[in-house]
Amino acid sequence: MRRLFDELLRRDRVLTLTGAGMFAALAIGFVLAAVDTRVILGINPWIKPMKFAASIGIFLWTLAWLWPEADARFERRLRWIRRVIVMALIGEITLISLQSARGTTSHFNVATPIDGLIFQTMGLMIVANTIAVAVWLATLRRPVSREAMGYRSGIVLGTLIFILGSLQGFVMVARLGHAEPGPDGGAGLPFVNWSTTGGDLRIAHFLGLHALQALPLAGWWLDQRASLTPASRRSLIGAAGAAWLVVCVVALMQALAGTPAARLN
């Protein structure tokens, strides 16, 4: 683990340390959840900040690992991209935690002017982060070496699906909730709390976001197969990306149809 952390620091110190801060927030959330007996929508109020801290931490460490793939000629642009991402995600976890401390929901909450302002601000932060990731994608080095054809294709496809997964969040925003039929809350899977009684739009959102880890890793694995040509590796990772996207769409359609991904009776 130490070697991994040192390598992440070498690749991008700011993103790595910000990610480490998110994992520290996750640990603090475990402590707060153990002593706070309140409930919001049927679960402990600190579960949501914990989930977001874990997801953001994984995202930041993934991006730190991928950061050297960008062309160094865009150094000034990359500094701005990094700054936007870090500020947006620190702001996001801060506002989510603030709402949990207040004993109310953070997302889809327009019950009062302050709640509505917080929700809108969080939405703007996620938009800023998504745009920054899209701009980062445009800075990737070219041409691609034959030895890394699968890896680079996985980065591109994973990032594109990540962006689509981020945009899918606006389906939930438009509905002011993630449950179908609503309202949000009720029985769900442990920790993630995905509904076990109806559709849940968060599943497709989750799958889309984590293509950013799965597809580059799959591409790297294909690059280790000496029997595969660069064209074959690119084709295979393209097929994997298409399959991942299909799964995301199926999960979205299933949620909109009100069908739970799993039932716990």
pLDDT along the chain (265 residues), means of 10: 92 97 97 94 92 97 96 93 98 97 93 95 96 96 85 96 94 88 80 87 95 97 91 94 96 92 62
What pLDDT was estimated at residue 174? 87
What pLDDT was estimated at residue 263? 62
Long-range pairs for 251-255 at CB < 8 Å and ≥24 separation?
251/203, 251/204, 251/207, 252/168, 252/171, 252/201, 252/204, 254/199, 254/203, 255/180, 255/199, 255/200, 255/201, 255/203, 255/204
pTM over 0.85: yes
What pLDDT was estimated at residue 207? 96
| DSSP state at residue 196 | S
What pLDDT was estimated at residue 220? 96
What pLDDT was estimated at residue 195? 86
What pLDDT was estimated at residue 185? 80
What pLDDT was estimated at residue 193? 83
What pLDDT was estimated at residue 21? 97
Cα 77–Cα 83–Cα 87 angle in degrees, nearest 5: 150
Domains in the chain: boundaries: 1-142, 144-265
Cβ atoms within 10 Å, residue 44? 17
